[in-house]
C-alpha cells in the first residue's frame, strides 16, 4: 500500500513483465458493460474504478472516474489506445503532493505515485492556468496517448500526443514530454515551498523517470485533470455523446482533493 500523502512515497513498481495485448473493442476493454467477476480487464467500469481507487486511495475517485470515462470515449471514437496502463495527473493538487498515478489495468495495481511539475506560467505551488499555445510555458489539460521514448536535452524522455483539439493537440509540436528533472525533489520543496517548474512538461524525479517512462511508453492513456470550466464543457471525451456528460461527475464542479 502506498504511503500516506504526508509521507512522500517511494516508487511502487510492478515486477511482472508479462505482456498484455487487449483487443480494442468495447467487449474487451477493462470497463466493458458485461458484469463479469475475476480479472480486472473483465470488470465493468464502476467496479474497475473501485479497484483502482482501493489501490490509490489518495487519488480523488471522481477524477479517476473522469479518466476512465475519457479513455472509454477515446476507444469509441476509434483511437488506437492499448489498454495496458492508465496514468492520471490531478493538477488541482499542490505540486508538493503526489499527483501522478500510474496503474497496471491488467491487475488493477498501482505502479507509481509521484510528484509532478507543471509549467512555469501555470502557477506557483498551485496550478491555475493552462494553455495549448506554443511559447506559453504552461501545462495542458486533457487526454494524451504516450508515444516513443528518446534521449534529449532533458535526458530520457517520452513524447505525448494530445487527443483534445484546442486544449492539448499541439503537445507534440510544443515538445510537451515526460522527463526527469532535478527540480522535482524534496530539497526544492523544503527550500521554496513548491517544486521547480518546467516549460510546460509534466516533469518527474530523475531517479524515477526511466522506469516510469518504460512502463507507459508506446501508446498508453494519460489523463491530466483540473476543474477548468471551458475544458470540462468542451472536451470531446467528456461529453454526453460518449455516454455521460460531465454534469454527472461531481469532479466537474469541485476544486479537487
Task: Give per-residue pLDDT as tens, 86-123.
Answer: 999 999 999 999 999 999 998 899 999 999 999 999 99
pLDDT of 8 above 60: no
Q: How confident is the model at residue 130 (pLDDT cuts 50, 70, 90)?
A: very high
Name which of 8-12, 68-72, 83-87, 167-171 the model is least confident about.
Answer: 8-12
What average pLDDT is seen over the chain? 82
pTM for this entry: 0.81
Return the pLDDT at 78: 75
Name which of 20-29, 48-57, 135-144, 155-164 the model is least confident about.
Answer: 20-29
Name which of 8-12, 157-161, 206-210, 224-228 the model is least confident about.
Answer: 8-12
Over range 150-178, report the average pLDDT: 97
Return the pLDDT at 242: 73
Q: How confident is the model at residue 216 (pLDDT cuts 50, 70, 90)?
A: very high
d(CA 68, CA 76): 13
pLDDT of 16 above 90: no
Of 5-9, 41-45, 121-125, give the range with the top mean pLDDT: 121-125
- Rounded to 5°, angle at Cα 64 from 226 and 243: 95
Return the pLDDT at 6: 33
d(CA 101, CA 231): 21
- φ, ψ of residue 41 to 5 degrees: the values are -70, -10
Over range 123-136, report the average pLDDT: 98
Return the pLDDT at 41: 46
Of residues 103, 86, 98, the one with CA closest to residue 13 = 103
Q: How confident is the model at residue 140 (pLDDT cuts 50, 70, 90)?
A: very high
Q: CA 117 → CA 173, 186, 192, 206, 225, distances in Å? A: 20, 13, 14, 12, 14
User: Does residue 96 come out as left (phi exceeding 0), alpha (psi in the -120 to 50 range) or beta?
Assistant: alpha
Q: How confident is the model at residue 36 (pLDDT cuts 50, 70, 90)?
A: very low
Amino acid at each position: 500500500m502506498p504511503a500516506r500523502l504526508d509521507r512522500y512515497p517511494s516508487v511502487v513498481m510492478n515486477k511482472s513483465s508479462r505482456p498484455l495485448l487487449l483487443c480494442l473493442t468495447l467487449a474487451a476493454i477493462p470497463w466493458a458493460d458485461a458484469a463479469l467477476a475475476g480479472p480486472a480487464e473483465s470488470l465493468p467500469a464502476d467496479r474497475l474504478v473501485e479497484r483502482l481507487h482501493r489501490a490509490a486511495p489518495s487519488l480523488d475517485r471522481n477524477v479517476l472516474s473522469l479518466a476512465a470515462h475519457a479513455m472509454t470515449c477515446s476507444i469509441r471514437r476509434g483511437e488506437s489506445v492499448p489498454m495496458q496502463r492508465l496514468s492520471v495527473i490531478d493538477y488541482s493538487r499542490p505540486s508538493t503532493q503526489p499527483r501522478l498515478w500510474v496503474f497496471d489495468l491488467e491487475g488493477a495495481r498501482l505502479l507509481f505515485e509521484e510528484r509532478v511539475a507543471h509549467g512555469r506560467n501555470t502557477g506557483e505551488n498551485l496550478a491555475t492556468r493552462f494553455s495549448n499555445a506554443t511559447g506559453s510555458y504552461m501545462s495542458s489539460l486533457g487526454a494524451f496517448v504516450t508515444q516513443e521514448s528518446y534521449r534529449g536535452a532533458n535526458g530520457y524522455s517520452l513524447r505525448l500526443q494530445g487527443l483534445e483539439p484546442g486544449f492539448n493537440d499541439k503537445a507534440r509540436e510544443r515538445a510537451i514530454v515526460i522527463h526527469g528533472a532535478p527540480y522535482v525533489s524534496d530539497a526544492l520543496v523544503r527550500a521554496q515551498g513548491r517544486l521547480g517548474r518546467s516549460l510546460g512538461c509534466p516533469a518527474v524525479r530523475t531517479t524515477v523517470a526511466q522506469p516510469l517512462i518504460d512502463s507507459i511508453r508506446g501508446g498508453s492513456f494519460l489523463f491530466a485533470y483540473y476543474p477548468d470550466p471551458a475544458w470540462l464543457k468542451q472536451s470531446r471525451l467528456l461529453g454526453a455523446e460518449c455516454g455521460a456528460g460531465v454534469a454527472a461527475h461531481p469532479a466537474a464542479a469541485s476544486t479537487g482533493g
